[in-house]
Structure 1
Amino acid sequence: MKTRLTLTVEGAVMKRVFIAGATGYLGRFLCAEFQQRGWYVIALVRNPAQVKPIAADQLIQAQATDAASIRGVMAGTDLVVSSLGITRQTDGLDYWDVDYQANLNLLREAERAGVSRFAYIHVLRAADMAQVPMVAAKSAFVEELQRSAIASTIIAPSGYFSDMSDFLTMARSGRVWLFGDGSKRINPIHGADLAVATVDAVEDGVAWLDVGGPDIFDQKELAELAFASLGKASRVTFLPDMLRRIALRLLSLFTPRRISGPARFFLSALALDMVGDRHGTRHLRAHFENSLATTRSASIHRLPTERNKS
């Protein structure tokens, strides 16, 4: 029987969390939230030299896709949290290599280390997108996790604020294009709020949480919000949903996997109501306005290119 390694803070046992995907969008918020609550945070990273500062007490350099490289890294860990996954297929890896197999490697190592709980960031309404490769890989891992003897917490978010940037991009171009009548709803959530909901769920022993942000929008309202943030009149064009379905069939035939993968997820999610339990205090309107302010500031302070000397 392995001796559990612990640290103490003023006589109290400090819980240890191992976070995979720590350098990603959500992973950074997870590290910060766990550390703020007094957990000892161990972050899995591929290359520490290339990591921007994150709220971690310890960095572990390893590749989750290589089971041998993570052998023994979870000794003394109480909890594993994985937001590991890929949005674009690079480095010759696909969804089954990362979203499924890398997470399965983490789960098997957690079982060997005697970890008490494993939390995983999934996707809302996965059962309705089983034909999407990214979702299929995630769902296959969730099935493995639920069969494990380790207690689990599965977090299924509706979508991130960062995913809504497509509406701002289209609005900047002068027109937002929507499929159908724009009535499908979503309550996207900020990464910091999702981290809070995740840690709450873990600490409360919740098995599954469908989660979204505090505000529910239909797609037409998202478009109008994007235009309002830009100070522009709303211009929305509604396309027949048949075009979306045709695009889904053609993507895998005529586009590379790194493009068709995320596009198939996006087009499939557009046809669903993606509304989770309402959590958080951050609002999409403020996020849009902050994003635009940051873009304008960067543009103003961009150094001019050196002029050619005559």
Structure 2
Amino acid sequence: MKRVFIAGATGYLGQFICKEYQTRGWHVTALVRKSNKDVHLAADRIVEAEATWPETLIGTMKDVDLVVSALGITRQADGVGYWEVDYQANVNLLEEALRSNVTRFAFVHVLNADRMESVPLVAAKAAFVRKLRSADIQTSVIAPTGYFSDMGDFLKMAMAGRVWLFGSGQQRINPIHGADLAAALFNAVQDGAALAEIGGPDTFTQNDLAKLCFETLGTPPRITHLPDVLRRGALHLLPRLAPRRIAGPAQFFLTAGAMNMTAPPSGTRKLVDHFKSLVDRSN
């Protein structure tokens, strides 16, 4: 039986990756910071360790064939930053993989990263990817367009009564469900892909997303387009005025939202069904 070590296992995508590998017959080791009885992981072994502390990782990857890291900060809640987690913690994982003679390392990156290195979150991930590719190990870099979970921000605005968009709202994205992305990741790594850009089955403009939110709610669409200069101004001011836990994610979403985030389609799950489940949960 092949063995996989999954970092970021308790995150949105990590939980789906654990389930995908276990379903495919792999022995799954899940790395967690602290066990949580409320989070059920499809894992054969749970390792409690702090990836930012390399000494806690020693010996955790014995007999592992593959490391998959979906480790990174999405919404900052504690004192650590992107360079401590998205870069250094992943470097610590890579170095332990090399010491343990792991043959392959897969990393979940960001689509269009080369156009967003002014964003701290992306800069840290991109720096790790450069280090990963220079290491003596087979690598796969997975670059998704965006998750269904991220699209919930549009639905929240619609539920509040209005969706606010910067510019024309014509930028396109084909977001993907975590389960579909996990399956596509598995296949890409099995195929030995050095880079896999992955999107979902349906492409939307931002205007389309806003309209879909209101259709799901059964309310008339109320969409306001703001001048793009306001987005650019916000990007300039955020690092100076907002705390890092707010500025970091906002910088990423404001930057990514100004470009097309589309990739070859994969999966079958529909965004409208995800929106409906969120609405049902809120009622």
- TM-score normalised per structure 1: 0.90
Residue deviations 1:232-279, cap 9 Å, x none? 111111111000000000001111000000000000011010001100
Q: Residue 284 in 1 paired to residue 263 in 2?
A: no
Amino acid at match of 1:227: F
AA matched with 1:222: L
Could you say which residue in structure 2 is the equivalent of 1:270?
257
Residue 164 of structure 2 is aligned with which of 177, 188, 208? 177
Quote the sequence identity (%).
58
Instruction: Tell me, yes or no, if structure 1 residue 147 matches structure 2 residue 143.
Output: no
- Is 1:203 the counterpart of 2:197? The answer is no
Match of 1:111 among 79, 98, 111: 98
Please say if residues 23 and 51 of structure 1, whose CA atoms lie closer than 8 Å, have aligned partners that are also in contact.
no
Given candidates 57, 72, 77, the residue that maps to 2:44 is 57
**Runs of 4+ residues over 2 Å off in structure 1:** 88-91
Structure 1: which 5+ residue stretches go unaligned? 1-13, 297-310
Question: Larger C-alpha radius of gyration, 1 or 2?
Answer: 1
Give 2:74's aligned residue. 87
User: Structure 1 residues 40-49 or 209-218, which shifts more?
Assistant: 40-49
Q: For residues 82 and 195 of structure 1, what CA distance do their matches in structure 2 show?
A: 12
Are 1:158 and 2:145 counterparts?
yes
CA distance in 2, matches of 1:15, 1:283: 32
Aligned pairs (5 A) from 1:1-310: 14-50=1-37, 52-296=39-283
Per-residue deviation, 1:51:
5.7
Report the CA distance between 1:161 and its aligned residue.
Answer: 0.3
CA distance in 2, matches of 1:128, 1:78: 33
How many residue pairs get matched?
283
- Cα gap change, 1:51 to 1:17, in 2 (>3 Å): farther
- Structure 2: unaligned runs, 5 residues or longer: none
Looking at structure 2, the residues matched to 80 and 140 of structure 1 have their Cα atoms a distance apart, in angstroms, of 18
CA deviation map 1:28-75 (0-9, x unaligned): 000000000000000011112556211000011111100111011101
Alignment root-mean-square deviation, CA: 0.9
Distance 2:88 2:251 in 1: 21
Compute the TM-score of the two structures, normalised by the length of structure 2: 0.98
Structure-2 change in CA distance of 1:158 and 1:49 (3 Å): closer
Amino acid at match of 1:39: W
